[in-house]
Amino acid sequence: MHTTINGIYDNGKVTLEELPPSEKRMKVLVTFVDEEIQPSLNSITLAALQAIEQGFDGKKPK
């Protein structure tokens, strides 16, 4: 069985975006995709919400 999990390679380490389907020792294949890493939608949404939140303190923007 093959399972694909997205991840990021940075400074010699691979960080997976989700847990593998098993905790037992198993062989893996690592494929490097030639594309720029885009910020996740969640981080963009979080930044937008934080900016909006600043306007809810009851004070007028300067």
Model confidence over 21-36: pLDDT tens digits? 888 999 999 998 887 7
Q: What is the pLDDT of residue 2?
A: 87
Q: Kindly report the backbone phi and psi dihedral angles of residue 55, in degrees, each rounded to the nearest multiple of 5, phi listed first.
A: -85, -5
Higher-confidence position of 53 and 10: 10
Q: What is the pLDDT of residue 12?
A: 92
Name the strand (E) or helix (H) holding 54: none
Is 25 within 8 Å of 48 (Cβ atoms)?
Answer: no
